[in-house]
Structure 1
Amino acid sequence: MTMDISNLIIENLANPHELERMYRKEPEAFKKSISYAWGKNPDSQVLAVWYERLHFKETANTEKTSLFQKDFLSMGILAMLAGISTRGILHFIEQQAIAPINLVFGILPFIAAYFVYNNTPQRNVLYTLAALFLISGVYLNILPPEHKDSIILAYLHLPIFLWVLLGLAFTGNEYGIGSKRLAYLKFNGEFCILYASMAISGMMLTALTMHLFRFVGMDISEFYFENVVLFGAAALAIVATYLVSRNLKLAKNIAPYIAKIFSPLVLATLLAYLITVIWVGKNPFLDRNFLIFFNGILLSVLAVTIFSITESGTDEKKNISDYINFALIILALIIDSVALSAMVFRLSSFGITPNRLAVLGVNILIWANLIWIMLSYMRFLQNKTGPSTIQDAVTKYLPVYGFWAAFVTFTFPLIF
């Protein structure tokens, strides 16, 4: 039959309509016959085109499948290593040999390794990543195991520094390009959505498992949480990284809608809260705990604003979300200005401490960033620039947060 179709193909080389009809009628037989027909007529351009058309898809699909399997295998290995490492670190934490903050080294280096494996950077970037992760880990564990303010500040700022370092692994050789930094911020939003979704499923499985074993009179909660839940939580971070990197539609489709829904809710809630604070007379200048909470609100608003900006896309047209984002920025700027004034007041009144200096520094950084974003948004709303200038105000400032986090982490324990 193959020979018969091959002969028909050769007879109809000048009749493209008939060739197309034959292919649609019996695609598999036609595909097998093309090779034979082309062998008989190696100079035929028509047969050469048909051969490439029919076999190119096969090659592309093979390469795509091979790449998928390679990525899946690397993800599986790194997920297992992350889970094992995290469980091992927990053992030393329980022995009080190391600080709990070391748990970040059970996850972040393996996410960085996944990025590097799938987008190998130049040697200088690779060596920088490896050196900084290693130095961070060694430095963290030579700090004295004391609960001094400077040590606690180092513990709090280290994850921020490592997060920026993870951004270097994500962007690779293109670390200076704004679009790649923006892609990293989008990755974070989609990662959080996907991880939370899978974590909820894991919680349901955990609850079901606990109840099943209780029915037979066994309490496995301690063993299960230490060996299964912790392992799964660490491994799940690598799985979520893999799924987001593979352009999973769930997170990418839902993230912009969450940003559009969440931003106005946050704006309305914070406006109501600030009005209430003024009404009851809460004073961040004198109330230390309220000032700490006030700064927490500021960081939350900044995170929501940046999330909304990164998910707004590159559409030149303005919409209601842009005005809501601008209002959030103004609100965050007001909150930061109050917090900044309160910190200056407390420093001048009560003296310098590591906590006050660290909070003052981060407030100054955020204030400058918010001013830049606000001015960029004003120009966009006045039709003077496109949305890329707003995104630049976010992405170009990321290393500044990383440098400040590194400064607090590595110098405050030495200075104080």
Structure 2
Amino acid sequence: MSPDPKADEISGQIDQWRQMMAARPGLSNDDVDELTDHLESEINDLRTAGLTPDEAFLIAVKRLGGQDAVSREYARVHSDRLWRQLMPPSSRRPSNGLPTALLLAAGGGLAIRLPYSILGDQASGQFYPRAVGLLILPFLIGYFLIGHWRDETDLPRRIDRLGGAGGLGALAGALAVAVVPLALFPPRPDGQTFWLTAIHLPISLVAATGIAYLGPRWKVLGAWMDWVRWLGEAVVYYVLIALCGGALTALIVGIFNAAGLPDTIVGQIPGWVLPLGAGGAVPVCAWLVERKKSVIENMAPVLTAVFTPLMTTALLAFLVVVAVNGDPVTVDRDVLIVFDAALIAVAAIVMFTVSARPSGPRRGLDWMQVTLVVAAICVDLVMLWAMAGRLGEWGASPNKVAGLGCNLLLLAHLFGTSWYYGRVLRASPADPASAAGLTRWQCLALPAFGFWALLVAVGFPPSFGWA
């Protein structure tokens, strides 16, 4: 019979270890119970092998990991819990603080502004559209990698924390591919493929940046929902910073005008402040999201509850217009572009809502989301009808083919979302499998959209002769 570790002198040591673990952030009582079971099982195995109680306890604790290491691991696995609570200052990593974010912000701002100083007006029309992602995102990637690097001390573990050789290779490969349009593609701002690259290349880079954020978890499909959640939170902070920055810039310009400074000097202020702020705000947003997660977490249900009915109303209005018009092929091209953007916004809203959805029984917001998704499916079918008609009537073009592929991808994603949301609404409130399926489906969308965006950005220009 296996020895019971609670029946001997190490029971006091186990209780003391349990109390220390319970004091760590991110660990609930159930987590501590699970850890204690693992510890006791390990002790049982070691004692069966002939070790003394003290030896078994020490080795079992060592195998289980240090208190901080185990706590950090549970924080990563149970990120939905830690997303709602701020870790106390004593437990935060000093390596990923505000000084690092501000230093990278300065680099990001200068990376945006200096090309204009060198290339002049040529940069605005030919360089920036395709290079903006490559100018900003490396500083965000650096912010994540610096934090992972300083979490460990020896090189092998550091490499693993960065995502391993596979993760670093995939990240480097994405950045290298993103350089191809700048290095090899002709700068033709009057061409369709030029702007297709400008729109899709940042999307693929944002998807790849998730590898740097997730580190060793980038191979775990469910972990990508953390990247979705992070992006949603960062967008909210970026908009707030942009609004404040715009108001501050206008105030400074007004003060300098009132002071009677020459227009040549005052006119240069927005040309420096806006690009520096646009690039520098990205690492600052990263720092804010990591430090103030609980603040935006409380806003997420409010934001989704407001935008979901508004977006549903807009989509239903489009369907009414099409029904009155009778032929979607004749709908104005600009209207189709607007509602294509609306469908992409719907996919983003749904993904962010699912990422912030608490586990538990179905809610009213779930029904609102299903209504939004069904309306989006109807709009997408009409869009595909219109695009197929335009292709047949006027022939293929880069924009038409890219739009058709995007809408087919969106349709598949929306159909899958409606299926899994339906399972959530039909399932028992105690059944977590349906919610897990919905989350996994949203995670699958990230690599799918990222790969499609990269294909359009790099493959369409040469395929269509740089048209």
TM, length-normalised to structure 2: 0.71
The CA distance in 2 between the partners of 1:225 and 1:145, in whole Å, is 26
The CA distance in 2 between the partners of 1:171 and 1:127, in whole Å, is 15
* Correspondent of 1:356 among 383, 400, 405: 400
SS at match of 1:217: coil
Deviation of 1:99 after TM superposition, in Å, equals 2.1
The CA distance in 2 between the partners of 1:242 and 1:264, in whole Å, is 32
In structure 2, the partner of 1:124 is 166
* Correspondent of 2:102 among 76, 93, 108: 76
Deviation of 1:221 after TM superposition, in Å, equals 4.2
Deviation of 1:378 after TM superposition, in Å, equals 1.1
Give the conservation status (yes or no) of the 8 Å contact 1:107–1:237: yes
Give the conservation status (yes or no) of the 8 Å contact 2:112–2:276: yes
- C-alpha change, 1:278 and 1:94, in structure 2 (3 Å) is farther
Give the conservation status (yes or no) of the 8 Å contact 2:163–2:215: yes
Give the conservation status (yes or no) of the 8 Å contact 2:322–2:328: no
The CA distance in 1 between the partners of 2:386 and 2:322, in whole Å, is 15
- C-alpha change, 1:379 and 1:68, in structure 2 (3 Å) is same
The CA deviation string for residues 48-96 of structure 1, in whole angstroms up to 9 with x for no partner, is xxxxxxxx99xx999746x336532321221111111111133345341
Deviation of 1:151 after TM superposition, in Å, equals 2.4
In structure 1, the partner of 2:370 is 326
Aligned-pair identity in percent equals 28
The CA deviation string for residues 354-381 of structure 1, in whole angstroms up to 9 with x for no partner, is 1111111111111111111111111111
In structure 1, the partner of 2:178 is 136
- C-alpha change, 1:93 and 1:366, in structure 2 (3 Å) is farther
- Unmatched tracts of structure 1, length 5 or more: 1-55
Deviation of 1:277 after TM superposition, in Å, equals 4.8
Does 1:152 find its partner at 2:195?
yes
Give the conservation status (yes or no) of the 8 Å contact 1:314–1:388: no
The CA deviation string for residues 246-288 of structure 1, in whole angstroms up to 9 with x for no partner, is 2443222212221122212322343345334534x27431233
The CA distance in 1 between the partners of 2:238 and 2:336, in whole Å, is 31
The CA distance in 1 between the partners of 2:318 and 2:338, in whole Å, is 12
Give the conservation status (yes or no) of the 8 Å contact 1:79–1:238: yes
CA RMSD of aligned residues (A): 2.4
The CA distance in 2 between the partners of 1:185 and 1:166, in whole Å, is 11
* Correspondent of 2:127 among 99, 104, 118: 99
In structure 1, the partner of 2:220 is 177
Deviation of 1:191 after TM superposition, in Å, equals 0.7
Amino acid at match of 1:244: V
- Unmatched tracts of structure 2, length 5 or more: 1-66, 69-86, 149-161
- C-alpha change, 1:138 and 1:273, in structure 2 (3 Å) is closer
* Correspondent of 1:260 among 300, 305, 308: 305
The CA distance in 2 between the partners of 1:332 and 1:165, in whole Å, is 27
The CA distance in 2 between the partners of 1:234 and 1:298, in whole Å, is 27
Give the conservation status (yes or no) of the 8 Å contact 2:105–2:283: yes
* Correspondent of 1:305 among 347, 350, 360: 350
Q: Which moved more, 1:147-156 or 1:87-96?
A: 87-96
Give the conservation status (yes or no) of the 8 Å contact 1:83–1:234: yes
The CA distance in 2 between the partners of 1:80 and 1:123, in whole Å, is 29
TM, length-normalised to structure 1: 0.79
The CA distance in 2 between the partners of 1:84 and 1:399, in whole Å, is 30
Q: Rg larger in 1 or in 2? A: 1
The CA deviation string for residues 310-330 of structure 1, in whole angstroms up to 9 with x for no partner, is 222222x01110000000110
Give the conservation status (yes or no) of the 8 Å contact 1:164–1:398: yes
Deviation of 1:181 after TM superposition, in Å, equals 0.7
Amino acid at match of 1:349: E
Give the conservation status (yes or no) of the 8 Å contact 1:93–1:100: no
In structure 2, the partner of 1:224 is 269
Give the conservation status (yes or no) of the 8 Å contact 1:83–1:106: no
| Equivalence map 1:348-387=2 (5 Å) | 348-383=392-427, 385-387=433-435
Give the conservation status (yes or no) of the 8 Å contact 1:89–1:103: no
SS at match of 1:132: helix
In structure 1, the partner of 2:114 is 88
Give the conservation status (yes or no) of the 8 Å contact 1:191–1:251: no
Amino acid at match of 1:394: Q
Amino acid at match of 2:257: R
